Chain A
Amino acid sequence: MNEQSAPVGTVASHVGGHIHPPPDSFVKKYIFSLDHKVIAVQYFITGGLFFILAGLLAELMRAQLMGPNNHVLSVETYNEAYSVHGSAMVWLVIIPLLTGGFGNLVMPLQIGARDVAFPWLNMLSFWLFPPAGILLFASFLFGAPQAGWTEYPPISLQMPFGTSLWCLAIFLIGVSATITGLNFLVTIVKMRAPGMTYTRMPLFVWATGTTALLSMIATANLSAALAGLFIERTFGVPFYNVARGGAPVLWQHVFWFYSHPAVYIMILPAFGIVSEIIPTFVRRPIFGYKMIAYSSAAIGLLSFMVWAHHMFTSGLAHWEQLLFMALTMAIAIPTGIKIFSWVATLWGGKIRLDTPLLFVLGFLSTFTFGGITGIMLASVPADIHEHGTYFVVAHLHYVLFGGSVFGIFAGLYYWWPKMTGRLLDERLGKIHFWLMFTAFNATFLPMHWIGLLGMPRRVATYDPVYAGTNEFVSISAFVLGFSFLIFLYNALRSARHGEIAGPNPWGARTLEWMIPSPAPYYNFKDIPIVLSGPYEYGAPLPYANIRQDLATVPVH
């Protein structure tokens, strides 16, 4: 405890300076931990397990779709598989990993705080998450949901009890995400180290802050919508059932009012990760810091106003179609600004092509493509043809897989040493990247084509004219699944054989690298004082109260 010396000067009364006592038992240290870094690891492990389960469901689906009229799965099981796959990937994998995982691991460190504002709520958020996942997968025992992750009524009102479990599971996740959002937002507003103005915050913090706001507001709405669906299913309260005066399109409105912001909840943290990794490996300041930061905020704001672009074929009034089309196109502009700024940062750098940057470049390539197809979907007449087809399936995987999941892996390779103290193997990492990148494109690129030609989504079989393409897609999907095993091996291997990382293996300049790896439970011995922005490569470190002798040179 001697290390935990009394902080000095003005810093003592700063809110980031408070600290909870050190954990004194196994349970408090690893299970009901209040430490944001331990909670982050808990999110990573739990989310990783659900990623494997949901991924296996995807492989089963692709096995069924190897050929037309296959009978690997029954039609019912196939419907259940894609519904649970989608729900789990969105709510049990991407959102918890990016917000609960990276947000918890990195954000408090980057703002120079000793924990989040409400550590106990943080623990509660996490412990709502495994039960939600178990409920969702337990729904298979009672007839899992079949109507996709969107669960449009009236069909979702007609399904067996599993759909009610789905409602409960996602409700729990919703509560968890709302609490996390609230917690992070207070943390970012109140607990930044002295001198860290909003425009000196690392870009990941900007992204996490915007995400937190979206989580807090949009996810509360999701909880309400799910409660509506649940009480209609359980007590027959008429909201969505036409026969009782309800309106199925109402669900689409309230669902997408959550789920479009949710798309940005899933991508903004990945933007943040990319914005951290690029300057570190390019060894120069990020190009257009303010534009990237403000575009995050703009995306956050606009994301609440575009939900009905998922509903262009749901009989909206013409003015609604026009309004939502225009707003959707508006949101493409800040997204474009980010992409162009990242590419411009590469100019004139001293680029080290390590695995994290490799994943970021993969992200840029695939996400840009997903963004472009997004614009095609935003135009109402084009969407009339593309809606509900494999084109949409391809688009959303380019954004959520090519975007979020590539971002997650980039972040994992980047912050793994901070989390565990050891580096992941570079060679295995590069093999993982190339295999994943190639298999990803081979899996999802052809889907655009068959979607445009007339293959609808959510089908267990299809017109035999698409057989060849589907077979190719399925084989690629199996290779894609295999590529994750390389990562799994690499991760397990690093526990024993991984190179010891040291505090700052990449020579980065944000605050999380200014302390030992893994970070001690109190994070900062003294709360640092921030003197300027975090990406001034070549200048002296902009921190007081930090050991100045820490190297900011990459170790390899």
Chain B
Amino acid sequence: MAKALHVPSDAEYADVSSQRLLGFLFFLISDCVIFGDFIFSYLYLRDVAPVWPPPGIERPYLYLAAVNSMVLFGSGATMHYAMEGIRRDRRRQFVAFILATIVLGSLFLAGQAYEYTHLHDTWAGSTFGASFFTLTGLHGFHVLIGVIYLITVFIQTLRGTYTQQRHFGLTAATLYWHFVDVIWVALFFLFYIY
């Protein structure tokens, strides 16, 4: 029982964090592979199709997606400053920026929902729809998880779980959020530009 109450020393915390950080990065790599698989599928199906997008399929509305991308990229920047707030022990900066991140993330999801409901194509409708909805849906799911994750670490921070020295949970959340952003860079290119 004494073990369970053991408070790790700073050195132990650093060791465990370094393990967890590496593990978390490996998780992101394998997540990246999952996106990579569906991106490969998209490019392959596009390559074998005689015309693209398939006849009768409209592409989603470009400029809404551009604004939405901007919203998501902006949340990446705010998340970075929230993290800086913790690192420099500026609580109010942290609170302001993480709330901004959560709001921007939710806005992105709302924009995505609007786009989904106004598209004529469906998931099972065509090969374009298959790739589009699978990839953006998977990404949207990641954003949703990310928003929940951010809310969780926000509450944890308010309760004092994380400090200037010990904040691995926040580091992981930040990396995850950046990862979600960066995946969108690729998806935006593939579905709206390429």
Residues of chain A in range 211-227 having any CB-CB distance to chain B below 8 Å: 216-221, 223-225
Task: Identify which of B23, B38, B123 gathers the most chain A CB atoms within 10 Å of its CB.
Answer: B23
User: Are A238 and B36 CB-contacts (below 8 A) given A183-B23, A216-B29, A245-B49?
Assistant: no
Across the interface, do A237 and B130 meet the contact criterion of CB distance under 8 Å?
yes
> Provided the pairs A18-B16, A238-B126, A250-B45 are in contact, do residues A221 and B33 lie with their beta carbons within 8 angstroms?
yes
Indicate if the CB atoms of B19 and A225 lie closer than 8 Å: no
A-B contacts, CB under 8 A, total: 107
Tell me which of B23, B33, B123 contacts A237 (CB under 8 A): B123
- Residues of A in contact (CB 8 Å), total 41
Residues of B within 8 Å of A26, CB to CB, are: none
Is there a chain A Cβ closer than 8 Å to B124's Cβ? yes
As a 0/1 sequence over residues 96 to 118 of chain A, the CB contacts with chain B under 8 angstroms (1 = contact) are: 00000000000000000000011
Contact (Cβ within 8 A) B40 A182: no
Say yes or no for A23: interface residue by CB 8 A criterion.
no
Of the residues B4, B22, B127, contact of A244 by C-beta under 8 Å: B127
A178 surroundings in chain B (CB, below 8 A): 30
Give Cα distance in the complex from A216 to B48, angstroms. Answer: 30
Q: Are A223 and B34 in contact (CB under 8 A)?
A: yes
Given the complex, which residues of B lie within 8 Å of A190, measured CB to CB?
Answer: 15, 18-19, 22
The chain A residue with its CB closest to the CB of B44 is: A250
Are A13 and B26 CB-contacts (below 8 A) given A21-B3, A237-B124, A246-B45?
no
Whether, in the assembled complex, B134 has its beta carbon less than 8 Å from a beta carbon of chain A, the answer is yes
Residue on A nearest B22 in the bound complex, by CB: A186
With A246-B45, A247-B44 known as contacts, the answer to whether A220 contacts B34 (CB < 8 A) is yes
B37 within 8 A of A: yes
Residue of B3, B19, B37, B54 near A117 (CB, 8 A) is B19
Q: Which B residues are CB-close (under 8 A) to A15?
A: 15-16, 18-19
Q: Does A221 lie within 8 Å of B37, measured CB to CB?
A: yes
Contact of B23 among A117, A239, A257 (CB under 8 A): A117
Least distance between B112 CB and chain A CB atoms (Å):
18
Given A15-B15, A221-B34, A239-B41, verify A245-B126 contact (CB < 8 Å).
yes
* Interface members, chain A 169-225 (any B CB < 8 Å): 178, 181-183, 185-186, 189-191, 216-221, 223-225
Task: Kindly state whether residue B193 has any CB partner on chain A within 8 Å.
Answer: no
Cα distance A118–B16 in the bound complex, in angstroms: 10
CB distance from B50 to the nearest CB of A (A): 9
Residues of B within 8 A of A223 (CB): 34
Q: A221-B37, A254-B40 are in contact. Are A182 and B23 (CB under 8 A)?
A: yes
Residues of A contacting B4 in the complex (Cβ-Cβ under 8 angstroms)? 21
Contact A224 B19 (CB under 8 A): no
B27 within 8 A of A: yes
Is B11's beta carbon under 8 Å from chain A? Answer: yes
Given the complex, which residues of A lie within 8 Å of B41, measured CB to CB? 228, 239, 250, 254
Least CB distance, B36 to chain A, in whole angstroms: 7
Known: A15-B19, A235-B124, A236-B124. A254 touches B30 (CB 8 A): no
Contacts of B40 in A (CB 8 A): 253-254
Contact B15 A253 (CB under 8 A): no
Given known contacts A21-B4, A189-B22, A217 and B34 CB-to-CB distance under 8 angstroms: no
Q: Which residue of B lies closest to A236 (CB)?
A: B124
A231 at the interface (CB under 8 A from B): yes
The answer to whether B31 touches A220, judged by C-beta atoms less than 8 angstroms apart, is yes
Q: Which residues of B contact A117 (CB under 8 A)?
A: 19, 23
What are the interface flags for B33-74 relative to A under an 8 Å C-beta threshold, 1 for contact and 0 otherwise? 110111011001100110000100000000000000000000
Tell me whether A220 and B22 are in contact in the complex, defined as CB-CB below 8 angstroms, given that A228-B38, A239-B130 are known contacts.
no
Residues A266-298 near B (CB distance < 8 A): none
Contact residues in B for A189 (Cβ distance below 8 Å): 22
With both beta carbons as reference points, the residue of chain B lying nearest to A15 in the complex is identified as B15
Q: Which residues of B in the span 168-183 have a Cβ within 8 Å of any Cβ on A?
A: none
Closest CB pairs A-B (n = 5):
A224-B37, A220-B30, A220-B33, A21-B3, A15-B15
Q: Enumerate 22 A-B pairs (CB-CB under 8 Å) in ascending A order.
A: A15-B15, A18-B15, A21-B4, A117-B19, A182-B26, A183-B23, A186-B22, A190-B15, A217-B30, A220-B30, A220-B37, A221-B37, A237-B133, A239-B41, A239-B130, A245-B127, A247-B45, A250-B41, A250-B44, A254-B40, A254-B41, A257-B37
Known contacts A218-B33, A244-B126, A245-B126; can you find 4 more A-B pairs with CB under 8 A?
Answer: A18-B15, A228-B134, A253-B44, A254-B37
